[in-house]
Homo-oligomer: A and B are copies of this chain.
Amino acid sequence: MLRPSTATLADVAAAAGVGESTVSRVLRNHGSFSQKTRERVLAAATRLGYVPNRIAGTLASAGSRLVGIVIPSLANIVFPDVLRGASQALEAEGYQAVIAVSEYDMAREEAMIASMLAWRPAALMVAGLEHTPAARALLAASGTRILELMDLDGPSIDIAVGFSNREVGRASARHLLARGYRRIAYVGHDLAVDTRAAKRIAGFEEVLHAAGLALVDRETIPTASSIEAGQAGLERVLARAPRLDAVYFSNDDMAFGGYFLCMTRGISIPGDLAIFGYNGLAIGRVLPQPLSTVRTPRVEIGATAARLATENAPAQRVDLGFELVPGGTA
C-alpha cells in the first residue's frame, strides 16, 4: 500500500541511487540520461508512488501550465461550449484550465481576475471587453497573455477572439425587415449586466431607426436569462401590445420560452407572430419549425483562444464571425 503521497524528488533520487537533477531530467524526459538510469529512476518512482509536485516545479521554473478562465455564467450551454473548446485545446498542449464564474458581477470578476493572477497563469481568458477600471489595470499590467472572448465591439487589451455583437443585432434586424415584419418588440434579460446583449439590441435598433422604425415594445426581465423568463416576458408584452409582428429575444433560451408559449396558446408561428433568437442552440434545429436565430462559433472561439494562448502570438483581434440561421420562425 502506498503511503499518502509524501515522496519527494529527493526520496526517489535516494531510492534510485542517483542525483536529484537526474531524476528531474528523466521524469520530464528532458536533457540527457542513459537508458539504464532511466529504468532505475522510473522503477523507484513507481515503487514509491511518487507524484511530482507541480507547485514546486512551477515556482522553480517560473512559468506555470495553468490558464485562468473567468466566465460570467454556467447557467446555459453558451459558456460551457466556450470552455469545452478551450479545455480540449489546452489539454492537448499540456495546460490546465482554472475556472471562475463571476455571475455577471463586475466586482466579482475583478476579484477573480486578481485571484487568478496570483497563480501566475500562462494566460488569462475573460469574457467580453468590459471590466472595472481596476480589473483592466490589473490585466494590462500583469504581463500575462490576456484573451478577451465573445466580443469585438470596443478596445481590447491584448488578444480578442469573437465576433461583433452589434453586427449580430444589425443582421437580425435586417432579416426581420426583409421578411416584412414592422411591428417588432424586444424581450430580453438584464441589459445592465449583459453588455453583449446590450450591444446586440443597440445594433438592432440602429437598423430599425435607419428604416424609420422603432421597437414597438421592450420588455426587460431583471433576472438571469432563462426559458421561464422568456415565457413570462412575452406574456407581458402580448398583454400590453397585442398587435405585434415579431419578437426579438435576447437569446435562444428566452426565445424557446416564447416559442412554447405560442404553441400552448395556439398562436401560429410565424403567421401570427414571428420569433427570432440568438445563439443557435442545437434544440432550435429540431423544433417542428426550426428557430430563426444567429449561430455563434462558441466552441471554436474557445479553441482558437486556447491556441493563441499557448502559442507566442502577437496581440490581435480574431473575428470568427457568426451565421444567420433563417429557420422557420421568422
- A interface with B by C-beta (< 8 Å): 1-6, 49, 51-56, 58-59, 64, 66, 74-77, 79-81, 83-84, 87-88, 91, 96-101, 103, 112, 114-120, 137-138, 141-143, 226-228, 231, 256-257, 260-261, 263-264, 282-283, 285-288
User: Once the chains bind, are A99 and B101 in contact (CB under 8 Å)?
Assistant: no
CA A282 – CA B115 in complex, angstroms? 33
Which of chain B's residues have a CB closer than 8 A to the CB of A228? 282, 286
CA A141 – CA B3 in complex, angstroms? 6
Q: Which of B51, B53, B101, B260 contacts A87 (CB 8 A)?
A: B101
CA A59 – CA B60 in complex, angstroms? 11
User: Once the chains bind, are B282 and A260 in contact (CB under 8 Å)?
Assistant: no
Which of chain B's residues have a CB closer than 8 A to the CB of A288? 260, 263-264
Q: If A5-B143, A64-B55 touch, does A283 touch B263 (CB 8 Å cutoff)?
A: no
* Chain B residue with Cβ nearest A75: B84
Distance from A5 Cβ to chain B, minimum over Cβ atoms (Å)? 5
Which of chain B's residues have a CB closer than 8 A to the CB of A99? 83, 87, 97-99
Given contacts A77-B80, A96-B119, A231-B286, 20 further A-B contacts (CB under 8 A): A5-B143, A6-B143, A52-B118, A55-B120, A74-B87, A77-B77, A84-B101, A87-B100, A88-B101, A91-B100, A91-B112, A97-B99, A97-B100, A98-B98, A226-B282, A227-B285, A256-B283, A256-B286, A260-B286, A263-B288
Distance from A112 Cβ to chain B, minimum over Cβ atoms (Å)? 8
Q: If A77-B76, A91-B100 touch, does A282 touch B2 (CB 8 Å cutoff)?
A: no
CA A25 – CA B120 in complex, angstroms? 21
A-B contacts, 6 of them at CB < 8 A, read: A54-B118, A55-B59, A55-B119, A96-B100, A227-B283, A256-B286
User: Once the chains bind, are A5 and B286 in contact (CB under 8 Å)?
Assistant: no
The 10 closest A-B pairs by CB, nearest first: A4-B143, A2-B141, A74-B84, A54-B118, A80-B80, A260-B286, A74-B80, A55-B59, A98-B98, A263-B288
Distance from A302 Cβ to chain B, minimum over Cβ atoms (Å)? 10
Which of chain B's residues have a CB closer than 8 A to the CB of A5? 117, 141-143
* Chain B residue with Cβ nearest A261: B286
CA A138 – CA B87 in complex, angstroms? 23
Q: If A80-B77, A81-B74, A228-B282 touch, does A137 touch B56 (CB 8 Å cutoff)?
A: no
Q: If A91-B100, A101-B87, A118-B51 touch, does A227 touch B143 (CB 8 Å cutoff)?
A: no
User: Once the chains bind, are B286 and A114 in contact (CB under 8 Å)?
Assistant: no
Distance from A105 Cβ to chain B, minimum over Cβ atoms (Å)? 11
Which of chain B's residues have a CB closer than 8 A to the CB of A54? 118-120
User: Once the chains bind, are A53 and B118 in contact (CB under 8 Å)?
Assistant: yes
Which of chain B's residues have a CB closer than 8 A to the CB of A55? 55, 58-59, 64, 119-120
* Chain B residue with Cβ nearest A263: B288
